[in-house]
Amino acid sequence: MKLLYINPLADPHLTPLEDRLLPQWQVTRRPSLAPGEDLAGLLAEAEALIAMRVPAGLPAAPRLKLLQLPGAGYDHIHPEILPPDCLVCNVFEHEFAIAEYVLAAMLNVTVQLGRMDRELRQGDWRSGLLHSGRAHSELRGKTLGLVGFGHIGRRIAKLATAFDMRILTVTRRPEQAGNEVAWAGSLADLGGVLGEADFLVLCCPLNDSTRGLIDAGAFAAMKTESHLINVARGEIVEEAALFAACRDRHIAGATIDVWYDYPSQAGDRVAPSRFPFHELDNVVMTPHASGWTDALWGRRLEVIAENLNRLLHGEAPVNQIARTDLG
């Protein structure tokens, strides 16, 4: 069977995948789905496709049985070229790293190791025991609001429980929230979470119901001492409203890992927003790195290879996405 592997990161991930595949797979690698003389022929013959983005206007892929996403998000998939019986699957495995990132972000706010280190290097002891007016805070007893309770939200809740945090969530399936959660509701109940959360973490998919979900009204409903942490998609938060809320201290600050503008290729230097977030001292900026660890790809490749090999055996792959959920 023929597999077309769209691999923009080039060869570091190709060989480990092939080592996990059954020998019946014939793998063709391409750096992107950009137009080219070979593209129509490759898509016409492909029975499986690994790609994170499927843009509109591609040549037909009539033999395609599986579109396997090498990541979790499916907001860049245009399904027009997919045959009606083509399965679409994603892969997770990033929830472990992202949950640790979220805990690190919250600890950075409460414990402030970096600030204390900088001060003491200058001989400033004001944050220590001898100067009790500058004691730092704790996560214990703080309220964590999770917008989304899928793989990532559940893992964050598990770790936050160990810190004795109170956990609230809004999710599509509140009845399935676990014992770690003190309260669960639907997106329509978001207002109640906004007014209670010390930390509001966005870990939901980007779709029509979540695009622009956190706007100026949402920031107005949040506590002035609350912090926003976005590890989902930039567009879930209204860009201008986020900048204004942080600049004007309507909220205490934000940790932002997902953005509004991205480089088109490796090495490009691109500002992540049209607003100067880098000028704000209450914002921590990271380059979509929360899930990007040295262990991530090993776990993901195991799942991807297993799905492809299941296809060969006529077995159902895991992590299927309903076609109605695609753009």
**pLDDT confidence of residue 3:** 97
Spacing of C-alpha 136 from chain mean position: 29
**pLDDT confidence of residue 12:** 59
**pLDDT confidence of residue 284:** 98
Q: Angle, to 10 degrees, between the axis of helix 95-110 and the axis of helix 151-162?
A: 40
Contact 202, 230 (CB under 8 A): yes
| pTM of the model as a whole | 0.91
Q: How does DSSP assign 85-139, residue by residue?
A: T-EEE-----HHHHHHHHHHHHHHHHT-HHHHHHHHHTT--TTSTT-GGG----S
Amino acid occupying residue 231: V
Which domains are seen in the chain, by residue range? 2-93+295-325 (3.40.50.720), 95-285 (3.40.50.720)
**pLDDT confidence of residue 8:** 74
For residues 6 and 69, give the distance between their C-alpha atoms in angstroms, rounded to a whole number: 10
Amino acid occupying residue 51: A
For residues 232 and 258, give the distance between their C-alpha atoms in angstroms, rounded to a whole number: 7
For residues 289 and 98, give the distance between their C-alpha atoms in angstroms, rounded to a whole number: 9
**pLDDT confidence of residue 9:** 64
For 210-261, write each residue's pLDDT tens digit: 999 999 999 999 999 999 999 999 999 999 999 999 999 999 999 999 999 9
Instruction: Enumerate residue ranges in the chain where pLDDT < 70.
Output: 9-15, 132-133, 327
